[in-house]
Structure 1
Amino acid sequence: MTSPILDCAPFREQLLGIASALPEVPRADLYAFLDTARQLSGSLPEELSKGLDQFNAHGNHDGYLLLTGLPVEPEAELPPTPTSTPTPEDRRLLNMEAMLALVGGRLGLLTGYDQGYGNRRSRSVLHELYPTPDAHPLSGGTTETQLEFHSDLNHHALQPNYIILSCSRADHERRAATVISSIRRALPRLTDAEKNQLFDRELPRPVGVTFRDHVEDPELTAVVRPLHGDVNDPYLGYDRSILTAEEPADKAALDALSQALDDVAEEVQLVPGALLIIDNFRTAHARRPFTARWDGKDRWLHRAYIRTDRDGQLSGGERAGDVVDFVPRR
């Protein structure tokens, strides 16, 4: 599979038929909902299944897979975009939530995380991203702020393999592009000396920097390795807003990595019926700023984290729907 985009419009009706077998109120029994989704993911259309399985096994050069043309409700049938948490437990299943669960079930286990800094919303398994009044400038609820390149939960010992974002509503002006940079594209732009400096280099990452007011121990830190894994095809651990270095050689190498990620950046527009799978081990992603109107029609995404049986994430007995306690990467 050479293109990172897979058009799902030809099997939209088939997908609606599969989704109709899911429980109608997912949060009433999330384990049962996700178990059913995992079972139903075995009956996804052949072309979609092959694309997901290939991406899961090998990834791609772009670091993402974008599914387009998925079934989404007509605008008149969607509820207003939320403005606060938590999601009502009795809310009926939305089409793009169903697609999130089915695609995620094909890839691995949908998982919630304690992120280590008091962000209680993160402990849910089915997240929702929408403009939030007074949002922290590093959170997904902000709008006017550029979210800089980062890989999610790189400070967590059980960092998820994938981030899945599905779209029920786009922002009004279609400005809120998701920006993705793949280390497979960026790596050739680094010198051997820069690669060697970054590979397995342990840099401290403060855990409480995003929601510091809620942290019991603001000095708690985890370790992030900017490049790690296979020296010839490394994983990426990066957060432009948080990750810092003291040594001049580390600073120079991080600057070079930052520039390389900028140079290979790709913009992806999430529109209704689109679902984006981000390889969280081989990319950093960002988001362009946009303007919220607070009219019930603002941007509305659904998000989930996926763990797989790779990279030590599973030890046996885990289920989709589990919430993982915070374990700092060391």
Structure 2
Amino acid sequence: MPNDTTSYTLDSREATDVAELSLALSRSYRSFDDPELLRDLPTLAAELPRNVQRHLREFQLADRRGFTAIRGHHFDQERIGPTPEHWRGRERPGPEFPEEILLLLYSALLGEPFGWATQQDGHLVHDIFPIRAHEDDQLGMGSKELLTWHTEDAFHPYRSDYLILGALRNPDHVPTTVGELDLSFLSKEDIDQLFEPQFYIAPDESHLPKNNSVASQEEMNRFATILRIVEERRPVALLYGSRQDPYMRVDPYFMDLPDDPDACRAYEALCKVIDAGMQEAVAEQGDFLVIDNHRAVHGRLPFKARYDGTDRWLKRACVTTDLRRSRELRATADVRLLG
């Protein structure tokens, strides 16, 4: 695939260099949350191919497109092994540790990777693959049901600026759906309504205790902030930033609408615009999909999981351009988990 504004494809030399770099680093650090690795990420990321660095920098500075992709990585399927049955209880680091490091290197080109104490038991890098018990749920681990498009962690004031998905494998070519905002199809009245803080967005179920390991009151305390957000029901605006070129946050499956018919009309117009422009971005094996969480919503089409070790397996990282912004929710300045 040729390189363009929405993707960059590594040439064979670049792909080899990146694979060798990630393998070498996996022997030098203990895990994806190794403090020394997190400290060294910006320096290490400077060793990535110059053209890749330039592509992501241009994507970030242009602040126009909702997503881009870096394609053509060599992922050793024999080393990585079968798609797991569940993320819980897995040995860390696993055999795919080099790919997790590479995910963090790309994160460092855009900002700082961070995670949630309330997701996947506080792991900094998340697994996304089908889990039989969740196949009908609105979760990344689902499969049978459409994963409704959404802003990642739309409910939270410290949600990620970018989301990076790395495809270890995707044999069924399952698409990620990506939708951007075309303001030209919204009236001034609708835009005014969408800039008003009058909509409520609840946390999605991946942040709830029932989808994490909670064996003590101390572990339950991780969810205090999330539960407070649920209880307070603070209204938020769906558009923000520049009136001429706004950002958006929206999560239809977990939203409550106000009683105001004008606000409801504006919301329906927004959803219609996003639906009309929805695109399918297939992250094939060896692809990294980078989503601007202010510019685009994303979801996933349904698919039939086999649960035989060959299913789609992605790695996910959240990225912030300002780690200090969330300091009140991190135990210490060194901690990358919000809780």
TM-score (norm 1): 0.86
Query: What is the rounded CA distance, in whole Å, between the counterparts of 2:124 and 2:97 in structure 1?
Result: 15
Q: Does 1:274 align with 2:287?
A: yes
Q: Which residue of 1 aligns with 2:251?
A: 239
Q: Does 1:225 align with 2:237?
A: yes
SS in 2 for 1:295: coil
Q: Which residue of 2 aligns with 1:197?
A: 193
**Percent identical across equivalent pairs?**
23
CA displacement at 1:313 relative to structure 2: 5.5
Partner deviation per Cα, 1:108-135 (whole Å, 9 max, x = no partner): 1110124xxxx44163211010111211
Q: Which residue of 2 aligns with 1:151?
A: 151
Query: What is the rounded CA distance, in whole Å, between the counterparts of 1:208 and 1:178 in structure 2?
Result: 18
Q: Which amino acid aligns with 1:201?
A: P
Q: Does 1:89 align with 2:87?
A: no
Q: Which amino acid aligns with 1:271?
A: E
Q: Which residue of 1 aligns with 2:79?
A: 77
2:70 to 63, 67, 75: 67
After TM superposition, list the pairs within 5 Å mapping 1:160-199 onto structure 2. Answer: 160-170=160-170, 172-174=171-173, 176-183=174-181, 186-199=182-195
Query: What is the rounded CA distance, in whole Å, between the counterparts of 2:83 and 2:291 in structure 1?
Result: 24
Q: Which residue of 2 aligns with 1:43?
A: 47
Q: Which amino acid aligns with 1:153?
A: D
TM-score (norm 2): 0.84
SS in 1 for 2:42: helix
SS in 2 for 1:148: strand
1:98 to 95, 98, 101: 101
Q: Does 1:15 align with 2:14?
A: no
SS in 1 for 2:120: helix
Partner deviation per Cα, 1:130-161 (whole Å, 9 max, x = no partner): 11121161111100010111001121121110
CA displacement at 1:211 relative to structure 2: 6.4
Q: Which residue of 2 aligns with 1:133?
A: 132
- CA RMSD, aligned part only? 2.7
Q: Which residue of 1 aligns with 2:215?
A: none
Cα distance change, pair 120–16 in 1 and its aligned pair in 2 (3 A): closer
Structure 1 unaligned regions, length at least 5: 326-330
Query: What is the rounded CA distance, in whole Å, between the counterparts of 1:49 and 1:177 in structure 2?
Result: 26
CA displacement at 1:2 relative to structure 2: 5.5
Cα distance change, pair 310–190 in 1 and its aligned pair in 2 (3 A): farther
Structure 2 unaligned regions, length at least 5: 211-222
Query: What is the rounded CA distance, in whole Å, between the counterparts of 1:121 and 1:262 in structure 2?
Result: 30
Q: Which residue of 1 aligns with 2:272?
A: 259
Query: What is the rounded CA distance, in whole Å, between the counterparts of 1:90 and 1:96 in structure 2?
Result: 11
Cα distance change, pair 143–28 in 1 and its aligned pair in 2 (3 A): closer
Q: Report which of the two has the higher share of helix.
A: 2
Query: What is the rounded CA distance, in whole Å, between the counterparts of 2:102 and 2:208 in structure 1?
Result: 34
